[in-house]
């Protein structure tokens, strides 16, 4: 196969125009809604999962932090559906783009930090200097804590990008090996194909777990600043 290994990560275009915006707006259209008084099983299951996830993330928050519940639930649903749609053949996964993940992580992190400086400025500043620090180490620790604070959105974005990209690359390589071995050795092809199926199941779990981890870390940053 002469296909470029990274071809699936190139942002698609339609008639020369970027189609990434349309792809990003597509997942929310797949979330079913009900117009009836009595919901069906799909809507009921969806609402149960949303309540369970929201309760899991919002338990540690105070009243001010719980005002972010709608945003965090929307975030985890968006990332999860985007990751899952990216597992379909000939599809594009926006979460493999570091720029998009940074665009999600930076405003949320900045909002949480600004809220902390506005409402709990003493506690926010106390994070830069742990209690009992020796005097000669104070300047160095302040610099280290400042850097660790500033790289939090980058860490969020890189973690999501790396996990999703690595999974897609591994599936691409194993799929190419399966196709190449199909004309050489049938038993080996069946073994590799079984591995590919297991890897696909693993990637479905990774897609959901990474959405939860990304949102949970944003929730933890919010908890530290409220």
Q: Is residue 2 part of a domain?
A: no
Cα–Cα distance between 103 and 100 in angstroms, integer?
5
Per DSSP, helices labelled H in 69-185 are: 69-85, 98-119, 121-126, 138-150, 152-181
This model's pTM is above 0.75 = yes
179-188 burial, b if ≥16 CB within 10 A, otherwise e?
Answer: eebeeeeeee
Q: Is residue 70 part of a domain?
A: yes
Instruction: Tokens for 211, please give them.
Output: 């959405």
Q: Is 130 helix (H, G, I), strand (E, B) or coil?
A: coil
Q: Is residue 217 part of a domain?
A: yes
> The domain containing residue 127 runs over which residues?
7-225
Instruction: Tokens for 60, please give them.
Output: 């540690």
Give the chain's domain count: 1
- Whose structure tokens read 């992580």? 105
Q: Is residue 102 part of a domain?
A: yes
Q: Is residue 170 part of a domain?
A: yes
Q: Is residue 1 part of a domain?
A: no
Tens-digit pLDDT string for the chain (226 aa): 445 666 666 666 666 666 667 777 777 777 777 777 777 787 788 788 888 888 877 787 787 778 888 888 888 888 888 888 888 877 778 888 888 889 888 999 888 888 888 877 777 777 777 777 777 877 887 788 888 888 888 999 999 998 988 888 888 888 888 888 878 878 888 888 888 889 889 989 999 899 989 998 888 888 877 7
Query: Euclidean distance between the first and final Cα of the chain, in Å?
Result: 53
Q: Is residue 134 part of a domain?
A: yes
Q: Is residue 111 part of a domain?
A: yes
Residues 6+ apart with CB under 8 A from 79: 95, 104, 160, 210, 211, 214, 215
């Amino acid at each position: 196969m002469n296909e470029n290994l990274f071809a699936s990560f190139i942002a698609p275009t339609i008639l020369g125009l970027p189609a990434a915006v349309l792809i990003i707006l597509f997942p929310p259209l797949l979330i079913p809604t009900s117009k009836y008084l009595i919901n069906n099983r799909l809507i009921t299951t969806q609402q149960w999962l949303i309540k369970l996830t929201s309760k899991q993330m919002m338990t540690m928050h105070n009243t001010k932090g719980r005002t972010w519940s709608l945003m965090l639930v929307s975030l985890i649903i968006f990332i999860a559906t985007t990751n899952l749609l990216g597992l379909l053949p000939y599809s594009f996964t926006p979460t493999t783009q570091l720029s998009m993940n940074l665009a999600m992580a930076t405003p949320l992190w900045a909002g949480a930090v600004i809220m902390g400086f506005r409402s709990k400025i003493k506690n926010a500043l106390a994070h830069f200097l742990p209690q009992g620090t020796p005097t000669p180490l104070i300047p160095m620790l302040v610099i280290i804590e400042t850097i660790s604070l500033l790289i939090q959105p980058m860490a969020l974005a890189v973690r999501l990008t790396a996990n999703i990209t690595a999974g897609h690359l591994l599936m691409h390589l194993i799929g190419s090996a399966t196709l190449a071995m199909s004309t050489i050795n049938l038993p080996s092809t069946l073994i590799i194909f079984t591995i590919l199926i297991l890897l696909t199941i693993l990637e479905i779990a990774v897609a959901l777990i990474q959405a939860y981890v990304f949102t949970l870390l944003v929730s933890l940053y919010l908890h530290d600043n409220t």
